[in-house]
């Protein structure tokens, strides 16, 4: 079986730091990706972790612990435009089946 | 910057009708995908396609669905006999190397089945 879990909603204020967690259980694992999706828009790639540790891309960082089947997306210096849904995703089944988590809706308040 | 395009942006059809959703992946990409997203729900994988054949398909991708790369640029998803529950946003995506490579999503086609 395959399942990913994320918090359904997170709220934070502008300028703050927020962490969105993702735990996964999949058959085969080829890395954890994060996508951002604004209402009515398409998913947009944010980051990818294949190995344990922290990957930093500007205000966004992503972390992976393969032994814990756990990762997180860290958003710093939050801006209003960061209000969106964030999905973690795992490439399952020997790299052919891409499974998305349920998504976390981030609301950034002024 | 190259991007994935999809047409139409919105398709309305009657239950039982056939629809074809079209996608133009990024030109040098080799791996193509279809996903769907029912309103307010998560993105669901439908099918991956490489080297002119299906690489993997999910349980959702039953006999009602088919994909085709009719020429060097288009990638299509056909639903033979639409059902009400097929109403969703359908996203096409492409990647250069597949598996762990970044997937670039198109803007989606909103399918409404009446």
**Tokens read off for B19:** 């629809």
- Can you tell me the distance from the alpha carbon of A40 to that of B89, in angstroms, rounded to the nearest whole number? 9
- Can you tell me the distance from the alpha carbon of A23 to that of A76, in angstroms, rounded to the nearest whole number? 21
Cβ distance of A96 and B104 shorter than 8 Å: no
Which helix (H) or strand (E) segment holds residue B110: the answer is: strand B109-113
Residue with tokens 């439908």: B46
Give the number of other Cβ atoms within 10 Å of residue B52's Cβ: 7
**Tokens read off for B17:** 């009708």
Out of A42, A101, A102, closest to residue B108 by CB: A42
- Can you tell me the distance from the alpha carbon of A89 to that of A22, in angstroms, rounded to the nearest whole number? 9
**Tokens read off for B65:** 């669905």
Task: Specify the pLDDT at position B15.
Answer: 97
- The arithmetic mean of pLDDT across residues A35-52, rounded, is 91
Contact B98, B79 (CB under 8 A): no
Residue A85 pLDDT > 80: yes
The secondary structure of residue A67, as a DSSP letter, is T
Pairing outcome for strands A97-100 and A84-92: antiparallel
A99 → chain B, closest CA residue: B45
- Can you tell me the distance from the alpha carbon of A23 to that of A10, in angstroms, rounded to the nearest whole number? 16
Contact B102, B1 (CB under 8 A): no
Cβ distance of B43 and A41 shorter than 8 Å: no
Residue ranges of chain B with per-residue pLDDT less than 70: 99-100
Render pLDDT for B32-57 as a digit per residue (tens, 0 to 9).
999 999 998 889 999 999 988 998 88
Residue A10 distance to chain B (closest CA, Å): 16
Q: Which residues of B touch A35 (CB under 8 A)?
A: 43
**Tokens read off for A85:** 């849904």
Cβ distance of A100 and B108 shorter than 8 Å: no
Q: Which residues of A touch B43 (CB under 8 A)?
A: 35, 37, 43, 87, 89, 100, 103
Contact B12, B110 (CB under 8 A): no
Exposure pattern of A32-69 as b/e (b: 16+ CB <10 Å)? bbbbbbeeeebbebbbbbeeeeebeeeebbbbbeeeeb
Task: Specify the pLDDT at position A12.
Answer: 96
Render pLDDT for A48-71 as a digit per residue (tens, 0 to 9).
898 999 999 899 999 999 999 999
C-alpha distances (whole Å) from B79 to each of A62, B5, B68 are 37, 19, 12
**Tokens read off for A31:** 């890395």
Task: Specify the pLDDT at position B100.
Answer: 64
Q: What percent of chain A has pLDDT over 70?
A: 94
Residue A7 pLDDT > 80: yes
């Amino acid at each position: 079986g395959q399942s990913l879990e994320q918090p359904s909603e997170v709220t934070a204020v502008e300028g703050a730091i927020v962490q969105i967690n993702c735990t996964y259980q999949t058959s085969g694992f080829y890395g954890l990706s994060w996508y951002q999706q604004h209402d009515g828009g398409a998913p947009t790639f944010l980051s990818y972790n294949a190995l344990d540790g922290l990957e930093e891309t500007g205000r966004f960082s992503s972390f992976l612990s393969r032994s814990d089947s756990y990762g997180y997306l860290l958003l710093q210096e939050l801006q209003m435009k960061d209000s969106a849904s964030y999905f973690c995703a795992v490439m399952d089944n020997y790299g052919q089946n891409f499974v998305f988590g349920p998504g976390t809706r981030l609301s950034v308040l002024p | 910057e190259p991007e994935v395009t999809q047409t139409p942006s919105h398709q309305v059809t009657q239950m039982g009708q056939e629809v074809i959703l079209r996608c133009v992946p990024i030109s040098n990409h080799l791996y193509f995908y279809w996903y769907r997203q029912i309103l307010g729900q998560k993105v669901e994988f439908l099918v991956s396609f490489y080297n002119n054949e299906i690489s993997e398909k999910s349980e959702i991708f039953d006999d009602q669905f088919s994909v085709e790369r009719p020429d060097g640029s288009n990638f299509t998803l056909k639903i033979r006999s639409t059902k009400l529950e097929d109403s969703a946003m359908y996203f096409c995506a492409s990647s250069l190397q597949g598996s762990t490579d970044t997937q670039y999503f198109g803007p989606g086609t909103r399918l409404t089945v009446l």
